[in-house]
Amino acid sequence: MGERLICVLWGVLLLAGCTDAPAAQWFETAPFGQPREKIMAAMTQVAERKGFVVETSDAAEGVLTTQWRVMLRPQWRQGRRERLEMVLEEDRPRGHFVRVRIVREINDNGRVPLSLAEANWIDGGGDDDLAHEMTYLLKLKIEGVRLDD
């Protein structure tokens, strides 16, 4: 009986350590009455300002994605990587709006958590606060506010 109880407790502890992160949420800006090219340029500038490196920027499709921004930590599941995704969509007759999300993955390698080559990336949800901040910075940039500190 004692061995069975120990097995059940170990099972509960293992399940408690599993991530059940919600999917990354999309946040939308209000419509902009600006040309598509100006909005795409602002999307690139805001992404770079927040430290992301643009990987794909397709003005025809209205899509911008960045490379993964990796932050490794020596503790299990504390290392993560994030990628910014922005989509420019038309909202007739008011102009265009931008959908933004930050996708996050967590390093599940507990043996060598500081090794990028051996990282085991699992879904970590998203960073809703940063995605919301990106929509705000995008609004400021498109409205002509300088973002220089």
CA dihedral (98, 131, 107, 17) positive or negative = negative
CATH 3.30.530.50 fits 22-142, yes or no: yes
The 10s digit of each residue's pLDDT in 13-54 is: 444 445 466 788 999 999 999 999 999 999 999 999 999 999
CA dihedral (37, 85, 130, 94) positive or negative = positive
Residue 141's CB is within 10 A of a number of other CB atoms, namely 19
The percentage of the chain sitting over the pLDDT mark of 70, rounded to a whole number, equals 84
The 10s digit of each residue's pLDDT in 76-134 is: 999 999 999 999 998 878 889 999 999 999 999 999 999 999 999 999 999 999 999 99
Place of tokens 């970590």: 124
Contact 83, 12 (CB under 8 A): no
